[in-house]
Structure 1
Amino acid sequence: MRQEFCAQGAALAAQGHARGGSGNISARLASGGFLISPSGYALGSLQPDDLSLCDDAGTHRSGPPPSKELPLHLALYRSRPKTGAIVHLHTPHATAWSMVDGIDPDNALPAVTPYAVMRLGAVALLPFAVPGDPVLGDWISGRALRHSAFLLANHGSVVAARTLKDAAFAAEELEETARLCLILRTIPHHGLTPNQVEAIETHYGDRFR
Structure 2
Amino acid sequence: MRPLDPATRDLLANSLCDVGRRAVAMNLSPGASGNLSVRDGATMLMTPSGVGLGELSPARLAALDARSGEPAKQQPGVRPSKEVPLHTALYRRFPEAAAVVHLHSPQAVAYACKQPWSSVSAIPPLTPYLVMRVGRVPLAPYGTPGTDRLAASLDEVPGQFRAVLLAHHGLLAWGTTLDGALDAAVEVEEAARTALLAGPDAQPLPTPEVTALAQQYGTTW
Deviations 1:39-62 (A, max 9, x none): 111100101111111013211224
**How high is the TM-score relative to the length of structure 1?**
0.91
SS state at 1:60 partner:
coil
Q: Using a 3 Å threshold, how does the CA distance of structure 1 residues 79 and 144 change in structure 2: closer, same or farther?
A: farther
Counterpart amino acid of residue 133 in structure 2: R
Deviations 1:127-158 (A, max 9, x none): 22211111121121343642221111111111
Matched, 1:35 2:36: no
Matched, 1:131 2:149: no
Deviations 1:145-204 (A, max 9, x none): 422211111111111111100100111111110000001114x44322211111111111
Matched, 1:169 2:183: yes
Counterpart amino acid of residue 22 in structure 2: A
State the number of aligned residues: 205
Q: 2:211 aligns with which of 195, 198, 206?
A: 198
Counterpart amino acid of residue 46 in structure 1: L
**How high is the TM-score relative to the length of structure 2?**
0.86
Q: Counterparts in 2 of 1:60-139, with a 5 A limit?
A: 60-62=71-73, 63=75, 64-101=78-115, 103-139=117-153
Q: Does structure 2 conserve the Cα–Cα contact (< 8 Å) formed by 1:80 and 1:145?
A: no
Q: Percent identity?
A: 38
C-alpha distance in 1 between matches for 2:212 and 2:115: 29
Structure 1: give runs of 5+ residues left out of the alignment: none
Q: Does structure 2 conserve the Cα–Cα contact (< 8 Å) formed by 1:35 and 1:54?
A: yes
Q: Using a 3 Å threshold, how does the CA distance of structure 1 residues 169 and 114 change in structure 2: closer, same or farther?
A: same
Q: Does structure 2 conserve the Cα–Cα contact (< 8 Å) formed by 1:76 and 1:144?
A: no
Instruction: State the shift of 1:81 in Å.
Output: 0.8
Instruction: State the shift of 1:115 in Å.
Output: 2.0
Q: Does structure 2 conserve the Cα–Cα contact (< 8 Å) formed by 1:79 and 1:144?
A: no
Counterpart amino acid of residue 83 in structure 1: A
SS state at 1:35 partner:
strand
Moved more, 3-12 or 50-59: 50-59
Counterpart amino acid of residue 194 in structure 1: T
C-alpha distance in 2 between matches for 1:90 and 1:129: 15
Matched, 1:16 2:30: no
Structure 2: give runs of 5+ residues left out of the alignment: 1-11
Q: Does structure 1 conserve the Cα–Cα contact (< 8 Å) formed by 2:116 and 2:122?
A: no
C-alpha distance in 2 between matches for 1:142 and 1:190: 28
